[in-house]
């Protein structure tokens, strides 16, 4: 593309802030689940919300760490099995993301690489995928909450 037509959309700190806003909302959705349903309740054969959150944990920090070190293990979900443990891991990763972020080499956001040994694309697309996947699965979790007659936290509050 002719560089004169490139218009800046957002910078990397804007993205982290936006993602952490989503992560704060996802935390509230985890909290809204009754303990006894978080790892068991399901619709149509789908994974319970606790397992979907473990997938998110398996992507977020490992992705950012991989962008820094270029070391990728095979993708794996987390291992929490209670709401308390899941929230503890979530909070630790919120902190880790903020701490790791400044160490991501600037060039990595535009550079194409393969994450987890299988997903190839530019860094910004890989990060968008991590965030979109969280929004997607959290949306599914809100249907579980509604089916359990629990009002989900408001989508627009971050």
Binding residues for its own copies (CB under 8 A): 1, 5-15, 18, 22, 43-46, 106, 109-110, 124-125, 128-129, 132-133, 135-140, 142-149, 155-156
Cα separation of 154 and 152, whole Å? Answer: 6
Residue 82 Cβ vs its own copies, minimum distance, rounded to whole Å: 24
Query: In angstroms, what is the minimal distance from the CB of 13 to its own copies?
Result: 7
Q: How many CB atoms lie within 10 A of CB 74?
A: 7
Using the minimum distance from each CB to its own copies, give the nearer residue, 92 or 155: 155
In whole angstroms, the minimum distance from the beta carbon of 140 to its own copies comes to: 5
Q: How far is the CB of 15 from its own copies (least distance, A)?
A: 5
For residues 115 and 28, give the distance between their C-alpha atoms in angstroms, rounded to a whole number: 28
Choose between 14 and 31: whose C-beta lies nearer to its own copies. 14
CA 126 – CA 118 distance, rounded (Å): 12
CB within 8 Å of 17: residues ≥ 6 apart: none
**Residue nearer to its own copies on the CB measure, 13 or 98:** 13
Q: Which two tokens stand for residue 134?
A: 């969280």
Instruction: Answer yes or no: are the C-beta atoms of 134 and 63 closer than 8 Å.
Output: no
């Amino acid at each position: 593309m002719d560089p004169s037509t490139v218009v800046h959309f957002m910078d990397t700190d804007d993205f982290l802030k936006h993602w952490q806003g989503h992560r704060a909302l996802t935390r509230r959705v985890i909290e809204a689940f009754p303990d006894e349903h978080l790892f068991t309740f399901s619709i149509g054969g789908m994974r319970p919300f606790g397992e979907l959150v473990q997938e998110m944990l398996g992507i977020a920090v490992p992705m950012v760490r991989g962008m820094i070190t270029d070391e990728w293990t095979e993708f794996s979900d987390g291992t929490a099995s209670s709401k308390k443990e899941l929230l503890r891991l979530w909070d630790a990763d919120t902190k880790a993301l903020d701490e790791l972020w400044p160490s991501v080499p600037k060039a990595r956001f535009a550079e194409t690489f393969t994450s987890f040994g299988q997903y190839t694309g530019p860094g910004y697309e890989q990060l968008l995928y991590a965030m979109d996947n969280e929004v997607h699965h959290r949306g599914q979790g809100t249907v579980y909450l509604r089916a359990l007659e629990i009002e989900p936290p408001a989508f627009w509050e971050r």
